[in-house]
Structure 1
C-alpha cells in the first residue's frame, strides 16, 4: 500500500471518527459503516480493514472502550472486506445495490454486537430482539449516508484513479524514452 492510499484511508478514518462523535446523540445513526463500505469499494479490502480498525479504536477512545470494541472491529472489518471484494469485481455495481448492502450491514453489525451479550450473559435472543429498532436506525442511517456520500465520493475516487493512471502512464513514457536517447 502506497503513501497516497494510506493518506486516503487516514482521511476517511478521521471523517468517520468525527462523524461518529458528531452523531453520538442519535441512537445508532453514524457514517462509519458507510464510509468503511466506500473505502472497501474504492481502495480495496485491506484499506477497508485498516480503516475499520483505526476508526473503531480512535472513536472508542472518545466514546468509551469495552468488550464491545473487539466485536465492533470484527463487524466493521468483515463489512469492509466484503465491500472490498464487491469493489474488485469487473462489473460496475449499481448504486441501489450498494445502498441495500449498506442497509443490510446495519443489521449485520447489530447481530455481531449482540454476540457480546451472549458472550457475557449467555442470553442472545432477548438482547438481539430488543436491539432490532436500533439496528433499523443503523440500517436506515447507513442507507441515507450512502445516498448522500456515495455519488460525491465516487466522483473523487474515479478522478483519483484517472489521474493516477495518467501520471503512471506519463512516468512510464518518460522512462521508456530515457533509455532510447
Structure 2
C-alpha cells in the first residue's frame, strides 16, 4: 500500500469517525457503512477492511467500547470485503445498484450484530425483530449517504475510478 492510498484511507477514516459522532443522536444513522462501501469499491477489499477496523475502534473510543465493538468490526469488514469484490468486477456500475447494495448492507450489518446476542443470551429472533426498525433506519441512511457522498468522493478518487462507475443516468 503506497503513501497516497494510506492518505486516502486516513481521510476516509477521519470522515467516518466524525460522521458517526455527528449523527450519534439519530439511532442507527451514520455514514460509516456508506464510506466503507465507497472505500471498498475504489481502493479494494483490504483497504475497506482496514477502514472498518480503524473507524470502529476510533469512533468507539468516543462513543463507548464494549463486546459489540468486535462484531461491529466483523460486520463492517464483511461489508467492505464484499464491496471490494464488487469493485473488482470490470463493468460499469450505475449508482442505483450501489444504492441497493447499501440498503442491503444496512440489514446485513444488523443481522450480523444480532447473531452475536445469540452467543450471549441464547435468544436470536426476539432481539433481531426488535432491531428491525433500527436496521431500516441504517439502510435508509446508507442510501442517502451513498447518494450524497458517492459523487463527491468519486470525483476525488479519479485515479482509482477507471471509469468503472456511472454517476448520472445517460438515457
User: How high is the TM-score relative to the length of structure 2?
Assistant: 0.92
Backbone CA RMSD of aligned residues: 1.1
Residues 19, 122 of structure 1: alpha-carbon distance in 2 compared, 3 angstrom cutoff: same
More RCO (CA 8 Å, sep 6+) = 2
Could you tell which deviates more after superposition, 47-56 or 149-158? 149-158
* Corresponding position: 1:86 with 2:86: yes
In the alignment, the residues of structure 1 paired with residue 33 and residue 63 of structure 2 have an alpha-carbon distance, to the nearest angstrom, of 16
- Residue 67 of structure 1 contacts residue 116 of structure 1 at CA under 8 Å; is this kept in 2? no
Match of 1:10 in 2: 10
SS in 2 for 1:30: coil
Partner of 1:170: none
TM-score by length of 1: 0.87
How many residues are paired up?
162
Which segments of 5 or more consecutive residues in structure 1 lack a partner in the other structure? 163-181
Cα separation, 1, equivalents of 2:22 and 2:39: 20
Q: Name which one, 1 or 2, has greater alpha-carbon Rg.
A: 1
Higher helix share: 1
**1:33 and 1:68 mapped to 2: Cα distance?**
16
Residues 159, 44 of structure 1: CA spacing in aligned structure 2 closer, same or farther, 3 A cutoff?
Answer: closer
The offset of 1:116, in angstroms, is 2.1
Cα contact 2:40–2:81 (8 A) shared by 1: yes
Worse overlay, 111-120 or 20-29: 111-120
Query: SS at 2:157's partner residue?
Result: helix
Alignment partner, residue 151 of structure 2: 151
Distance 1:90 1:99 in 2: 19
